[in-house]
Amino acid sequence: MGRCQGAGSATGRRVAAALAILIGLALGLGALGCGSGEGDGGSGASKSSEPPVDPHAPPSVDAAALAKKAAAVFGKLPAAAEKETNPLTPAKIDLGRMLYYDTRLSKNHDVACNSCHKLDAFGVDGEPTSPGHRGQRGERNSPTVYNAALHLAQFWDGRAEDVEAQAKGPVLNPIEMASPSEEHVVGVLASIPGYVTAFAEAFPDDETPLSYDNMARAIGAFERKLITPGPFDRFLAGDLDALDPAERRGLDAFLSLGCISCHNGATVGGLQYRKLGQIFPYETKDPGRFNVTGNEADRFVFKVPSLRNVAETGPWFHDGSITSLEEAVRLMGYHQLGLTLEPKQIADLSAFLRSLTGEIDAGYVARPELPANGPDTPAPDPN
């Protein structure tokens, strides 16, 4: 029994020693683990501090790659829409600014270019169709004048080649400004001494500076600098924080879904004609460009609108029938691309479109002082 007790005591001592070593090792490793986690950002602490992954979170977009891809599609927005045959001079621009705001170009002296294309409201009046002479309304929405000089043509149906040709139309349109003739308009302007001087300064090489064509050239010159860069342009130039994550996702979708097949170039549209209802028919009675060309292939074809400032230029579409930007996105996805967009896609695309809102040069578009009537200036005619 004594031997047994001695052997047991020895065995017990060996077990106790082994346990002590194991406990020491465990404590040492634990201390090392704590020291690593607290002092140098070891894996133990970093795992516990990482937020859980949200499986429903939208995918992130590589901003640098996106900006490079988008820049290749849209290019750089110029500071002005220069035209060789209508050089931009300060005198011509100043004259055009006055004419743009002057209601005396209209029969009743109550409608100006700015009445329908308000420069302090992103170039629109916010109405489905605009009121003109005696409150008459046309059948199409007044498009914005901002960035319009960069388009391939003017009006929804492209019937005017450029902003100079466009400026001649509304003045004589019986529904809009209703002046009876070019001669009448020239007579009104010639009766205002300040305009006689301004035309002479703007067109010093012309034998007859004050003419209907020069009126249009001056208005066109003013409009050629109505350019509105914004966050989107800063993003394309390398400021990757200019667009937030939702706007970047929207731009990515805009590129990948096919929106750029119509809306491309620096103006994000305005550079081609397309049928409204390209994939699925869109109900409209307006024949569009068919009225200009007489070509059956142009029935229901319209100039693709620029999306610059689109969030500020509703209501939308050629007839001003759509009152929600999101609804406009949904309808375009369906009728033009054949897509049924998901709510998240619509939200992201709409966020991107809002990033196309630019900055208006308030000084450039400020209403000028207009020259006073002369003794022979015709009175307003409400008839």
Residue 222: closest CA among 106, 371, 103, 81: 81
Question: Whole-angstrom Cα distance, residue 150 to residue 78?
Answer: 9
Token code pair at residue 111: 């409608």
* DSSP tag of 299: T
- Cα separation of the two ends of the chain: 136
* DSSP tag of 158: -
Task: Establish whether 176 is a catalytic residue.
Answer: yes
Alpha-carbon separation of residue 345 from 245, 246, 258, 307 (angstroms): 13, 10, 13, 17
H or E element in which residue 303 lies:
strand 301-303
Q: Is the Cβ–Cβ distance between 170 and 215 less than 8 Å?
A: no
Sequence-distant (6+) residues with CB within 8 A of 85 are none
Catalytic residue among 84, 164, 176, 359: 176
Catalytic residues: 176
